[in-house]
Homo-oligomer: A and B are copies of this chain.
Amino acid sequence: MPVYLDIATQLDNDVRNKYQAGDYLPSESQLALRFNVNRHTVRRAIDELVATGMVQRHQGKGNMVLRQPHDYYLHAGAHFTGNLLEQGSLPRSEVLQARVIIANSKIAERLNKPAESKVIHIRTFRKIDGIPRTVIDHYLSDTTWWVVLKYFNTGSLHQFINKELNIELQRKNTRLRAQMPTNEDCRLLQINSNIPILKIKTTNVIKGTNIVAEYSSSNTRSDVIELVMEH
């Protein structure tokens, strides 16, 4: 094992045990003295911590500890069930935003509407252990629903629509991919930029028709989540 990886391991331990988020590591020169290596070697070691998102470099100041890395691992309780695919159905979702917006071209296309149409945008999220794990953006085609939907604030969106508007939504297709989070994703999900997220997009029609009523896009932090579908 290269020396720099040894040092990276020790620094990793220090960060976990001795430092808190916001603290600064000893200077690279001091660390070089302490580990009896050249400063380049210390820098290479710190590169590893930077790559994993534990440390941030600040020229002229020092290398700052970003945060205590949780020991993330999957446990059975953290599993989402297949109904995550039915994104309007999450029973304990909460509303972050709800408003009428001008659809961008992609959303307009998914909803089969002309460019720059007005659509309803509702952003909900679901927490596990007090931390937001999934953020879902719902885009609803029919703005006349707004008079009712503006009162939606918690629970299952699809159930709400069913009850208040007497309309049943049916999932038509699902698109799924993994990607690295945007800055906004990082903020909403409270994660570092090095954790991949699952992005699930669905289009939903009014049951029995081909009328696309809803397009939804969800982002889920994937480090503590495993999507399980029983067939």
Tell me which residues across on chain B come within 8 A of A229, comparing CB atoms. Answer: 173-176
Q: Which residues of B contact A179 (CB under 8 A)?
A: 178, 196, 222-223
Q: B226, A198: Cβ atoms under 8 Å?
A: no
Q: Is the CB of A227 within 8 A of B172?
A: no
Q: Is A129 close to B, CB under 8 A?
A: no
For the complex formed by this chain, how many copies does it contain in all? 2
Interface size class of A (residues with CB under 8 A): 20 to 34
In contact, A226 and B173 (Cβ under 8 angstroms): no
Interface residue SS majority, chain A: strand
Tell whether, in the assembled complex, residue A177 and residue B225 are in contact, meaning their CB atoms are under 8 Å apart: yes
Q: Are B222 and A173 in contact (CB under 8 A)?
A: no
A100 in contact (CB, < 8 A): no
Counting chain B CB atoms within 10 Å of each CB, the highest count among A173, A178, A179, A198 belongs to A178
A98 to chain B, nearest CB (A): 26
Min CB–CB distance A194 → chain B (angstroms): 8
A140 at the interface (CB under 8 A from B): no
The contact sample of 22 A-B pairs, CB cut-off 8 A, is: A172-B230, A173-B229, A174-B229, A174-B231, A175-B226, A175-B227, A175-B228, A175-B229, A176-B176, A176-B198, A176-B228, A176-B229, A177-B198, A177-B222, A177-B225, A177-B226, A177-B227, A178-B179, A178-B197, A178-B198, A180-B194, A180-B196
